[in-house]
Amino acid sequence: MSLSQRVRFSQGTAAELHFSRRIQVKPLRLACVGLGRMGCIRSEAIATHPKAQLAWVVDLDEGRRSEFSARFAAKGSSNAADALSDESVDAVWIAAPTDAHEDLIKEALANGKAVGVEKPVCNSPVAAASCYDAAESAGLPLFCSFQRRFDPTYQDVATHVASGAIGTVKKVRKAWQATCPERTAHAGRCRFTQCFGTTPARTLTSSSEAVIPSTIFLSTT
C-alpha cells in the first residue's frame, strides 16, 4: 500500500473504528500539543464538542497556555511528555511546528494514544512513512488534517475532473491567503503554505506528482 493510500485509510476506517468505540462509552479525552494558530482552533473545537474533553494543553508560551488551561479547565504544561504519559488521555492532537512532529507522533503512539496531526505530517516522505509504520505496529490511527478533501466544493470539482467533463487538466494553480499571527510566522510556515497548495491539487487531480502552489484554477489548455 502506498503512503497516500495509507494516509487515506488511516483517515477513514481505522480512525472511525477506534474513535467510535471509545466515544460511545465516555467523552474522548484529548491533549493538544502546540497553541499556535491551528492549535488554538483545534483546542477550542475539542473543548466545545459534546463528545470530547480537552484534558491537556501544551505550549512553551506560558500566557497562552494558562489562558486555555483556565478557560477550558484543562491541565497545562510546557513539556509534552506530561500529557503524553497521562494514562487518562485517549488521543493527542499535534499542532506543534513541523520539525517536532515525528518525535511527538512516535512518543504519543508509544504511550498508546491515537494521534491527529496538522499537515504536513513530517518534513519528508520517509519520516512520514516511518510514523505510519509506527501507527500500524501500535494498532492505532494516525490522522492528518486534510480536511479540504471532504469540502463539498473540492469534491464537486474532483468529480468533474475525474469524469473528464472539463477535459484533460494540464495545469493547476492555487491562490491561498490567510492572516498569520506574528507568533506563528516562523520558518516552518513556508512548508505549511506549500502543503496547503499541493495537497488540494493532488486530491483534485488524483495525482501523486508535486505541483507548485501559487480559489483553485484548472486549465485544460
Instruction: Determine contact, residues 122/95, Cβ cutoff 8 Å.
Output: no
pLDDT of residue 146: 78
Q: Are strands 28-33 and 75-77 parallel, antiparallel or unpaired?
A: unpaired
d(CA 34, CA 209): 31
Please enumerate in sequence order all residues whose Cβ is within 8 A of that of 7, keeping only pairs 6 or more positions apart, or say none: 121, 132, 144, 146
pLDDT of residue 62: 96
Q: What is the mean pLDDT of each run of 10 residues along the chain (221 residues)?
A: 57 51 74 96 96 97 96 98 98 96 98 95 93 97 84 85 85 63 43 54 62 43 48
Name residue 115's beta-bridge partners: 92, 142
pLDDT of residue 217: 47
pLDDT of residue 145: 83
pLDDT of residue 176: 60
Q: At what angle do helices 125-138 and 101-110 cross, to 10 degrees?
A: 10
Instruction: Determine contact, residues 211/172, Cβ cutoff 8 Å.
Output: yes
Identity of residue 36? G
